Amino acid sequence: MLEFIIYKSIICAIIFAVSLGIAAYSTWWERKFAGLLQDRWGPSRAGIWGLLQPLADGGKMLFKEEIIPNVSNKFLFVLAPALFIVTAIMAGVLIPWGPPVKIDETFYALQVSDINVGIIFLLGVTSIGVYGIMIGGWASNNKYSLLGAIRASAQMISYELAMGIALIALIITAGGTLSFSEIVAAQDKGFANIVWQPLGFIIFFICALAETNRAPFDLAECETELVGGYHTEYSAFKLGLFLFAEYINMFVSSAVMAGFYFGGYNFPFAHELYQAMGLQEGSWIISLIGFGSYFTKTLIFISVFMWIRWTIPRFRYDQLMNLGWKSLLPLSLLNLLITVIVEYFKGNINL
Amino acid sequence: MLGYTITQWLFGIISFLSIMFALMVVFTRNPINSVLYLVLTFFCIAAHYLLLNAQFLAIVHIAVYAGAIMVLFLFVIMLMNLNQDSEPQKTMMSKLIAGIIGGLLLVVLVGALKGTEQLQLSQVGHSEIGIVKNLGRVLFHEYLFPFEIVSILLLSALVGAIMIGKKEIK
């Protein structure tokens, strides 16, 4: 029992630290990438290549004056950013970062918790994430904040549906399991799920963009209409937490996409490579290579998120809603139908 | 610990919390706070499902009730901008009458529950029924027809909601 607690605590601590670290350096990479796309340098003063920029930003956020609006509900105002970041980190517990390591005849999974209803847990956590935004926007007692919060939550609820249905199709192809680690492990042999679910992946990707409130779906913080959206009244580190949580969300959803559709820690010819290197199952080197593979895919997805942000202009609100309800939802239903028919004729579904 | 197992302790704590939050829903003046307490109550109920080894039901409960329905509630209340001042004040008379009626209902409920200790509950099914695989198998084999009927009921509610939401029917 004690051993189990220590092992889980270590995994928790590592994943927590990595999430925060990646979120911090995502801000740096976002600005560097924007600089690249817009033919300028990006951050370059703090440290070599501006690598200390996240620390400088964090310091600035910490030491700024904190203003709590006098008329707002103070408790809820303070609670909202904390709630938002907690739900953002919570989704990270599901991600299996690598093949299990074998120490003393016991396998240790590189995952905080292997919930057997993992996918529904993921959907639940993302839907709980709305509360941070809504409470924050309402407690600010500012019309712009409220409008931003309502936009954000309407958007998240709308896109969750298409996302859920795309995931049902994925579950059917992945062999009828709701556990994240089993879905990743099932892509061990044969192709990654992207080959069977190309349309599903595109739907999921668009929904993930919308769920994380990233451009081109960042209507919740549309400066031209809403000043700063739901975090207009926030300052200092509370604002920092809101912005930070967005990057954590992006990191987690990138990891989820890499795991669900691109094989996670598996990669082509992995078994041949391990055999050529003479590695046994459960060796820590395999886990390390698998982790590297998963992490590379995740970082690529984060970069794609940024690439899209600096390429596509923001949608109008009615366009956003039309896309969600009139295009993505029917498309995801169609995808589900096709998946079921194909799987039926492959003999994987018996009635 | 005092002769109780961990599960019993958890059950006690969660029950206390869920009843407390449920009471807070009624007693808080601010509608937004009421909604938030209701969300907490749903979380406590989900914890009860977890204690009953029904993970699927617990997570779905959170995703559907806390994640979708209560968000819409919050939506409406935020947009109506209700607060303490706009709440109608009841007269002393109506409070008194409400108190008496509620007390009578309590007496009836206590009376009805008095004879329950003789009731023997037989355990239906097996304890692993809450696992999604078992639940799905039962739902789609033994109870397929009721399941489909429920889905039609939900569909008709959906269509009805859209019809009401439409501005004008052409």
Write out chain A's pLDDT in tens, 351 residues: 788 888 888 888 888 888 888 888 888 888 888 888 888 888 888 778 878 888 888 888 888 888 888 776 788 888 888 888 888 888 888 888 878 777 777 777 777 777 778 888 888 888 888 888 888 888 887 888 888 888 888 888 888 888 888 888 888 887 778 888 888 888 877 777 888 888 888 999 998 888 888 778 777 676 677 777 778 888 888 888 888 888 888 898 898 888 888 887 877 777 777 777 777 776 778 888 888 888 888 999 999 988 888 888 888 888 888 888 888 889 999 999 998 888 888 877 766
Look at residues B83, B118, B144 and tell me which one is the last residue of a structural domain: B83
Cβ of A231: how many Cβ atoms within 10 Å?
27
Tell me which amino acid residue A110 is: L
Which of A138, A156, A69, A153 lies closest to B33, judged by CA? A138
Q: Count of CB contacts below 8 A, A vs B?
A: 61
The answer to whether B74 contacts chain A (CB < 8 Å) is yes
Q: Does B108 reside within a domain? A: no
Residues 10-49 in B contacting A (C-alpha not used; CB under 8 Å): 30, 32, 36, 39
- Please check whether residue B116 lies inside any domain of the structure: no
C-alpha–C-alpha distance, residues B156 and B162, integer Å? 10
Question: Are A149 and A232 contacting, i.e. CB atoms less than 8 angstroms apart?
Answer: no
**Of B83, B116, B137, which residue sits at a domain end?**
B83
Task: Name A135's Cβ contacts closer than 8 Å, sequence gap at least 6.
Answer: A76, A79, A80, A83, B36
Q: Which two tokens stand for residue A265?
A: 């820690």
| DSSP assignment string, B52-72 | TT-HHHHHHHIIIIIIIIHHH
Distance CA(A138)–CA(A79), nearest Å, equals 12
CATH code for the domain of B37: 1.20.120.1200
- Domain containing B24: what range? 1-83
Instruction: Answer whether B77 touches A (CB < 8 Å).
Output: no
- Please report, for chain A, how many H helices and E strands are present, in that order: 14, 2
List chain A residues with CB under 8 Å of B63.
120, 123-124, 127
Contacts of B34 (CB under 8 A, 6+ apart): B24, B25, B26, B28
Is B20 found in the same domain as B76? Answer: yes
Q: Do B56 and A120 contact (CB within 8 A), yes or no?
A: yes
Closest to B55 (Cβ–Cβ): which among A117, A146, A157?
A117
Instruction: Give the contacts of A125 (CB within 8 A, at least 6 positions apart).
Output: A87, A90, A91
- Which of residues B83, B117, B135 is at a domain's end? B83
Please name the residue of chain A whose CA is at the shortest distance from the CA of residue B78: A138
The pLDDT tens digits for B33-85 are 888 899 899 999 999 888 887 888 888 888 888 888 888 888 888 777 665 55
CA distance A59 to A82: 19
Q: Residue written as tokens 């019309």?
A: A143
Same domain membership, residue B9 and residue B67: yes
Residues 6+ positions from A126 with CB-CB distance below 8 Å: A87, A91, A156, A160, A211, B67
> Tokens at residue A213, please?
């409130």
Q: Into how many domains does chain B fold?
A: 2
Any domain includes B12: yes
Burial A197-217 (b: 16+ CB within 10 A, else e): bebbbbbbbbbbbbbbbbbbb
Let me know whether B60 and B1 are in one domain: yes
CA–chain centroid gap for B77, Å, is: 19
Query: Mind telling me how many Å the CA of B44 is from chain A's nearest CA?
Result: 15
d(CA B163, CA B143): 31
Instruction: Answer for the pair A51, A28: CB distance below 8 angstroms, yes or no.
Output: yes
Interface confidence: ipTM more than 0.90: no
Whether B99 is in a domain gets the answer no
Domain locations along chain A: 2-346
Q: How far apart are CA A189 and CA A199, in angstroms?
A: 22
Instruction: Please name which of A202, A189, A185, A200 lies closest in space to residue A342, comparing C-alpha atoms.
Output: A200
For A151, list phi and psi in degrees, rounded to 5.
Answer: -60, -50
A69: left (phi over 0), alpha (psi -120 to 50) or beta: beta
CB contact (8 A) between residue A135 and residue B55? no
